[in-house]
Amino acid sequence: MTGTRSRLRALGIRVGRLEPGPLNAITDVAGVEVGYATIIEDAPAVLRTGVTAVWPGGRDVLARPVFAGIHSFNGNGEMTGSYWIAEQGMLTTPIAITNTHSVGLVRDAVGAYLIREGGDAPWLLPVAAETFDGRLSDSERLAVTVDHVFAALRSASGGAIAEGNVGGGTGMICHEFKGGTGTASRVVLEAGARYTVGALVQANYGQRELLRVDGVPVGEAISIDEVPSPRRPSSDTGSIIVVLATDAPLLPIQCQRLARRATTGLAWVGGLGANSSGDIFIAFSTANRIDPKAPTSAVTMVSPDVMTTLFRAAAEATEEAILNALSMAETMTGYRATAHALPLDRLQDVMRTYKRL
Amino acid sequence: MTGTRSRLRALGIRVGRLEPGPLNAITDVAGVEVGYATIIEDAPAVLRTGVTAVWPGGRDVLARPVFAGIHSFNGNGEMTGSYWIAEQGMLTTPIAITNTHSVGLVRDAVGAYLIREGGDAPWLLPVAAETFDGRLSDSERLAVTVDHVFAALRSASGGAIAEGNVGGGTGMICHEFKGGTGTASRVVLEAGARYTVGALVQANYGQRELLRVDGVPVGEAISIDEVPSPRRPSSDTGSIIVVLATDAPLLPIQCQRLARRATTGLAWVGGLGANSSGDIFIAFSTANRIDPKAPTSAVTMVSPDVMTTLFRAAAEATEEAILNALSMAETMTGYRATAHALPLDRLQDVMRTYKRL
Amino acid sequence: MTGTRSRLRALGIRVGRLEPGPLNAITDVAGVEVGYATIIEDAPAVLRTGVTAVWPGGRDVLARPVFAGIHSFNGNGEMTGSYWIAEQGMLTTPIAITNTHSVGLVRDAVGAYLIREGGDAPWLLPVAAETFDGRLSDSERLAVTVDHVFAALRSASGGAIAEGNVGGGTGMICHEFKGGTGTASRVVLEAGARYTVGALVQANYGQRELLRVDGVPVGEAISIDEVPSPRRPSSDTGSIIVVLATDAPLLPIQCQRLARRATTGLAWVGGLGANSSGDIFIAFSTANRIDPKAPTSAVTMVSPDVMTTLFRAAAEATEEAILNALSMAETMTGYRATAHALPLDRLQDVMRTYKRL
Amino acid sequence: MTGTRSRLRALGIRVGRLEPGPLNAITDVAGVEVGYATIIEDAPAVLRTGVTAVWPGGRDVLARPVFAGIHSFNGNGEMTGSYWIAEQGMLTTPIAITNTHSVGLVRDAVGAYLIREGGDAPWLLPVAAETFDGRLSDSERLAVTVDHVFAALRSASGGAIAEGNVGGGTGMICHEFKGGTGTASRVVLEAGARYTVGALVQANYGQRELLRVDGVPVGEAISIDEVPSPRRPSSDTGSIIVVLATDAPLLPIQCQRLARRATTGLAWVGGLGANSSGDIFIAFSTANRIDPKAPTSAVTMVSPDVMTTLFRAAAEATEEAILNALSMAETMTGYRATAHALPLDRLQDVMRTYKRL
């Protein structure tokens, strides 16, 4: 709980049927580290922005990449580094998420950080993604600097991580409530193995009336007449970046498949990839670490049939990560609007009305 | 109503918020015609199969193709003709849907029909898709013949169309209830125009416990303990083919985008693209008819921003088409199993319990 | 040599710089077997058609699939089974190649063969591809039968294989000369390992004036004024199917990359993916055999850097396979035209003129 | 001619058979403008880098985008803005090309320029691509600044444009000779219309021994024993960005197809998409200018059959643009190597030897 905010499960609301990991966070996948740089300033400019960094498995990802895959559900967005991942199936850099106007700087800075830290990789193609925070932040000020990126990268750690108005998610809006950063995880027991799938989202999309919590039409019940929207007119604009991590041994092609299931979790909450939305999903597996210089590498792949439960885990973790972003983000007044937090008591009321609590 | 069966809306259950067209069917899109051949026999072989044919806009589709696009959410299936549609963006043949083992024959037969009817198109690449009906039909008997295909093509018409155990959907299973063929439509009023989006599905996928109706966990409430599953063990196998039609003037790339939103409607019902599932979606627009021999063609495209509402229409129509397949299909005993119909009184009970009826 | 025909190298012409394998054929990749059914009849109908079957690694491919990937350079063609390969990265059936109108029947027949031979795989999605032979064969007669498919599958073997007017390639035309079936291979020595890449093509594309042999403008030198074209007017129509096999341990994503390099070999001969051409390429690796039922599988992947030489091998093998189809195919008079063989003495003349022989 | 350098045609060497436009440059497509910022400094750091900017049709591309499509032949590279183009089929920003480490800064700067010049487009997704110049330039110095980007954008013009060591191509290496920026065009007369296809390349790829000029093995004839390579060991590393422009009225899907044909032109010169290569191609059509705010837009599409000749034009223009980069670039000594210019007299010798001059 942060101030008056709470994660979804602490409210007694459980979405999905698979069990979460111990932290119910992407960091339940061993080795995954998350760091933030958060910029909240009122003068000389109103800034509500930042950087989120996800290390996919220790700091040596450049020397020992992991397999990864991407899916673009609606491509009105950006994720640099995608061509290389699509081609090679490997993720060799941390993933950084920021605001739209800073994605280039953040991309270059991730590369500079890796070179500075000793990487010998002239042709780094770093992964940086974005969602737009121009309602709450004066984003044309280009407030994010190389130092912010370095700070997010350097401070990343495992364990419990902050949610809501932090990092790249600081100024985001989701279903016309205050959105931001959220995370969740699921544990899969299949074929004698125990796998974890974790999700981290930067949620900045969605129309109020489409919001659902475990199928309940919460967005209709807590309409913009009750809690005003920061978007005028009410609209489904914005984007969502989803990062999926798993320790299940997936090949690149299987990572692509997993990434595609963020679509399902997003749909459950009420996201349908609006025209102006950049809904781009990246999934990686920490189970195979590749030495690109070895003539051949021995890798492990999970049975295709196990994918079904991993798909469900990815959908559920995405769903709950978005809802955690909503339930953890606090009301924020910014550049051009106030984004109200999803009122948790009202959320519980509505869930009770529909016999789901 | 067919016997004791009913369409979803006739039960008082409304999913989605956009209005359906007059028929709440894919045939609300002017010019779209649907035909069926249904094979139900008990001797010498137990057969529960057939062919569904969709003409995308009159019988002259070969001479005057429409724009189309495809999305594969999970590719454990087949849709012939896809390469050409992906390359050219045009649909030049009717779409036929049948069982897995007959898709080749049906593909060839569609081509033969077009040639016989006067087409001068040596390199026809017909569109035939499939889902697997081997639980209810002795599908290795290859019961579908060229005559069945011709009959489905010839008998196609606009107006109200049959649902449930008809055509290619005859022997299908959905969320472990009896599935089959379903349809629905939505009307979009945008920018001074009125557009219709229609869906037709051949639904043969899904796990019971994941079934939701307007967000209500119906599959948990009417579990396989109450209504047995035709799949043992209970599993999420099978496939779904979704055909989306619209009279909105979409370019090929916009048809691809529309097709991708069947994913959203499918998710709302509880489909997540299980590993063994062939979830392949095709969308076409009847608004532009191309003369491939003209040096240039004048075509109309809808504004990108209008796509958002069309996306919602596609998702809602897909959702309701699946539910219509479930609510219209009657219990069927077949080759290796009995697939029970979704009990409509119980469905209404559950919706009432959750205050949605 | 077949009659007066000869493989390219026997004429003293060497394209590419890597060494071929012992057979200079796709069957240099251990385990790959090729079989043909050839239909040449003059009454009651003029038929010049057939079926080519490629087993990717023994007859147990259904139980122990190989990794595979596909690239469509120009999708005016058909290759059934593609969705599953794109999704799973596995090839579970032999690859069959035939004429356009028979691809459905051939697809179904491959499935029937596998089921008959003991496969327990209800949802087989067989791979069947096509090119159009309607100039030389009365292809609307649908001459190919299930028995032809079975014969091609059953008769497949390793070792030296026939080229030119055989199997699915029987009635094909290439660069307005007689085309058909061709094969070639390359050996790659990289990082202490020895890998083989083999190609088999069904070549039915291309304009005369674009034909090049090792860069020499042979098609300009032996124009349609000298050797008439079977196409009137002269045109770049038709298609090419390329099958690439390798024993290098490639992941599915790497197979996709290899397949894409058939584009390069095709370009070297003079193919640019004309609008009406179905230029679809499939690559598979025999090195990893997957047990889909095992919870996990140990697989080997080659270093990304080794791919460069494999790419070159794929391009060279494709190039030479097309040229072998041309140099081995004999003049054929058929349904609506005579396709003249590339005159080998003239070919040598031209190569000498340009100081390449 | 620049100093002792010359365009290919001025040497008497003609590749391809279609006629070039009056300038034999991408600027033959009316409205296309190209600008450069070139950085050549020896102290305090050795810099050989820059920015190339291509305006696809006047400065109002943001308000009136053009249709565009992308193909990645080998994705070891970067082109920001790709997701949006893939999704919407529209290009709304100029295309900038620079070195690998600066692509983020250049991307952001293009956006800043558009906003400054009056654009009202909060979620700009600019297109910036790269190839790596770290052999000749101390690229970790991040020498490119926002001012360079603005200068390239501002100075862009139609008419004849510089080639060789200019703009983003300043420090590039091609087939182990000095590479850089090149351009060419082709005129297509089809169906009563006259269309132009232009190419601009930033060529930084390729192995010496693979270099061909009109099919002649120039790279074998002028080997690294004769003219040393700036790469030690000799290797096929690097990348190529190809920009294709046309005034033929192409839909987005047709732009994608055109972009794919850069592969063919690249193959003719000797590029096969080496593993470490980022071979990314973008094509746009100036014929349809879209008003994204209009409810519908009337657009024109060219007949599919016309595409074949446009494909050939794209392949030929790409081929000649690469060769112009080689023939125009002067020898350059830089950070870690000297890249020797392709010796033009020797080129002519070799062409004569093989009877092609």
**pLDDT tens across B274-330, in order?**
999 999 999 999 999 999 889 999 999 999 999 999 999 999 999 999 999 999 999
Cα–Cα separations (whole angstroms), residue A242 to A96, A134, A269, C127, D181: 12, 20, 14, 35, 38
Nearest CA in chain A to D273: A87
Q: Which of C73, C209, C275 faces D260 most closely, judged by CB atoms?
A: C73
Mean pLDDT of D52-60: 93
Q: pLDDT-derived band of residue A3, with 50, 70 and 90 as boundaries?
A: low
CB B290 within 8 A of CB B252: no
Distance from CA of C148 to the nearest CA of D (A): 35
- Pair B215, A216: CB distance under 8 Å: yes
β-strands B95-99, B127-131: how paired?
parallel
The CA-based angle A168-A169-A171, given to 5 degrees, is: 105
Chain C nearest CA to D155, separation (Å): 36
- HSE, CB side, 13 Å, CA atoms: give it for residue B186: 25
* C-contacting chains (≥3 CB pairs under 8 Å): A, B, D
Of C209, C263, C276, the CB nearest to D263: C263
Chain D positions in Cβ-Cβ contact with residue C212 (cut-off 8 Å): 215
- What integer pLDDT is reported at residue C119 of this predicted model? 63
pLDDT of C122 above 70: no
Q: Look at residue C4 in the predicted model and tell me its pLDDT.
A: 87
Q: Give the residue ranges of DSSP H helices in chain B.
A: 82-88, 103-116, 146-155, 218-221, 252-260, 262-269, 307-328, 344-353
The pLDDT tens digits of the residues spanning C16-40 come to 999 999 999 999 999 999 999 999 9
| Among the listed residues D186, D197, D190, D198, the one whose alpha carbon sits nearest the alpha carbon of residue D303 | D190
Q: How confident is the model at residue A152 (pLDDT cuts 50, 70, 90)?
A: very high
Q: Give the Cα-Cα-Cα angle A24, A28, A30 (nearest 5 degrees).
A: 175
pLDDT on residue A122: 62
- Tell me whether residue A226 is exposed, middle or buried, using C-beta atoms within 10 angstroms of its C-beta: 0 to 12, 13 to 18, 19 or more: exposed
CA distance A182 to D298: 43
Among residues of chain C, what percentage have pLDDT more than 90?
A: 90
Give the residue-averaged pLDDT of A68-94. 97
Chain B residue whose CA is closest to C72: B83
Q: What is the pLDDT of residue D234?
A: 77
Where do we find the tokens 């674009």? C210
Catalytic residue chosen out of the listed positions B137, B239, B285, B327: B239
Rounded to whole angstroms, the Cα distance separating A194 from A344 reads: 33
The answer to whether B235 and A234 have CB atoms below 8 angstroms apart is no
What H or E segment, with its residue span, contains residue C257?
A: helix C252-260
Q: CB-based contact (8 Å) between A274 and chain B?
A: yes
pLDDT at A119 over 80: no
- Domains belonging to chain B, first-starting first, are 18-351 (3.60.70.12)
Q: Which residues of C touch B51 (CB under 8 A)?
A: none
pLDDT tens profile C200-256: 999 999 999 999 999 999 999 999 999 999 988 877 778 999 999 999 999 999 999
Could you give the C-alpha distances from D193 to A169, B133, B286, C335, D152, in angstroms and in order? 52, 52, 28, 35, 33
User: Distance between CA atoms of C311 and C288, rounded to whole angstroms?
Assistant: 19
Cross-chain CB nearest to D308 (options C73, C216, C275): C275
Q: Is C239 a catalytic residue?
A: yes
Q: Where are the beta strands (DSSP E) in chain B?
A: 33-41, 47-55, 66-75, 90-91, 95-99, 127-131, 173-174, 177-178, 180-190, 193-204, 239-246, 278-289, 296-302, 332-333, 338-339
Q: What is the rounded (10 degree) CA torsion for C262, C267, C271, C272?
A: 100
- What pLDDT score was predicted for residue D1? 42
DSSP state of C122: T
Name the pairing type of β-strands A66-75 and A278-289: antiparallel
Q: How is residue B10 annotated by DSSP? A: G
Alpha helix (H) ranges present in chain A?
82-88, 103-116, 146-155, 218-221, 252-260, 262-269, 307-328, 344-353
pTM of the model: 0.98
pLDDT confidence of residue B121: 62
Integer Cα distance of B267 and C296 in angstroms: 28
Count, in order, helices (H) and strands (E) of chain D. Answer: 8, 15
Backbone phi, psi, residue D92, to 5°: -115, 0
Contact C53, C96 (CB under 8 A): yes
CA D313 to chain centre: 15
**Cα dihedral B71/B74/B77/B81 (nearest 10):** 20
Sequence-ordered list of residues with C-beta below 8 angstroms from that of C272, at least 6 positions apart, any chain = C210, C236, D261, D264, D308, D311, D312, D315
User: DSSP 3-state assignment of D298?
Assistant: strand
Range list of H helices, chain D: 82-88, 103-116, 146-155, 218-221, 252-260, 262-269, 307-328, 344-353
Q: What is the pLDDT of residue B3?
A: 65
Q: Residue A256 has what pLDDT?
A: 98
Beta bridge partners of A41: A47
Which residue from D minimizes the CA distance to A76?
A: D84
Q: Which residues of B touch D121 (CB under 8 A)?
A: none
What's phi and psi for B77, nearest 5 deg? -155, -165
Say what percent of chain A tops pLDDT 70. Answer: 97
Whether residue B273 contacts residue B281, with contact meaning beta carbons closer than 8 Å, is answered with no
Measured distance CA(B203)–CA(B281) in Å, rounded? 12
Chain C nearest-CA distance from A266, in A, is 21
Distance CA A5, CA B114 (A): 64
pLDDT (tens digit per residue) in D189-215: 988 899 999 999 999 999 999 999 999
Q: What's phi and psi for C125, nearest 5 deg?
A: -125, 80
CA distance linking residue D350 with residue D319, whole number of Å: 18
Residue D82 to residue A81, Cβ atoms within 8 A: no
Whole-angstrom distance, CA of residue D348 vs CA of residue D356 = 9
The residue-averaged pLDDT of C125-143 equals 94
Report the run of H or E that residue C82 belongs to, with start and end: helix C82-88
Q: What gap in Å lies between CA A350 and CA A342, rounded to an integer?
A: 12
CA distance C66 to A153: 40
Taking 50 as the threshold, does the pLDDT of residue B354 lie above it? yes
Residue ranges of alpha helices (H) inside B156-292 are 218-221, 252-260, 262-269
pLDDT score for B157: 97
Cβ pair C13, C214 in contact under 8 A: yes
Average pLDDT, integer, range A25-52: 98
Residue B25 has pLDDT above 50, yes or no: yes
pLDDT, average across residues C286-291:
96
pLDDT score recorded for residue D237: 78
Res. D117 pLDDT band, cuts 50 70 90: confident
Strand order in the sheet with D90-91: D90-91, D66-75, D278-289, D239-246, D193-204, D180-190
For chain C, the average pLDDT equals: 95
**Would you say residue D120 has pLDDT above 80?**
no
Could you say which of D74, D257, D267 has the minimum Cβ distance to residue C267? Answer: D267
State whether A75 and D87 contact (CB < 8 Å): yes
How far is Cα A95 from Cα A282, in angstroms, rounded to an integer?
A: 9
pLDDT at site C65: 96
Tell me the pLDDT tens digit for each residue of B149-179: 999 999 999 999 999 999 999 999 999 999 9
Give chain C's radius of gyration (CA, Å).
19
Alpha carbon distance A192, C197 (integer Å)? 38
Active site residue B185: no
**Spatial separation of the C-alpha atoms in residues A319 and A261, rounded to whole Å:** 10
Q: Check: CB of residue B201 under 8 Å from CB of residue B241.
A: yes
User: What number is the ipTM of this complex?
Assistant: 0.97
Interface size B-D, in CB pairs within 8 Å, comes to 83
DSSP A19: P
Whether residue C289 contacts residue C31, with contact meaning beta carbons closer than 8 Å, is answered with no
The tokens 């049709």 sit on which residue?
D57
- d(CA B199, CA B188) in angstroms, rounded, equals 14
Q: Which of C137, C185, C229, C277 is catalytic?
A: C277
- Closest to D163 measured CA to CA, from D13, D36, D336: D36
Q: Which of residues 82-121 of B touch C (CB under 8 A)?
A: 82-84, 86-88, 100-109, 111-112, 115
Q: Is the pLDDT of residue C351 over 70?
A: yes
Q: Rounded distance, CA C217 to CA D216, Å?
A: 10
| The amino acid at A68 | A
Structure tokens at D281: 């191609």
The residue with greater pLDDT, C98 or C232, is C98
Q: What is the spatial distance between Cα D170 and Cα D47, in angstroms, rounded to a whole number?
A: 9
CA A286, CA A55: separation in Å to the nearest integer?
11
Query: What local confidence, expressed as pLDDT, does residue A321 receive?
Result: 98
Distances (CA, A) of A108 to A79, A80, B146, D135, D261: 13, 10, 60, 19, 31
Q: Is B225 helix (H, G, I), strand (E, B) or coil?
A: coil
C336 contacts: CB under 8 Å, gap ≥ 6: C134, C135, C136
Looking at beta carbons, which residues of chain C come within 8 Å of B115?
140
pLDDT of residue B238: 87
Q: Tell me what the pLDDT averaged over chain A comes to.
A: 95
Rounded to an integer, the average pLDDT of C100-119 is 91
pLDDT at A1 over 50: no
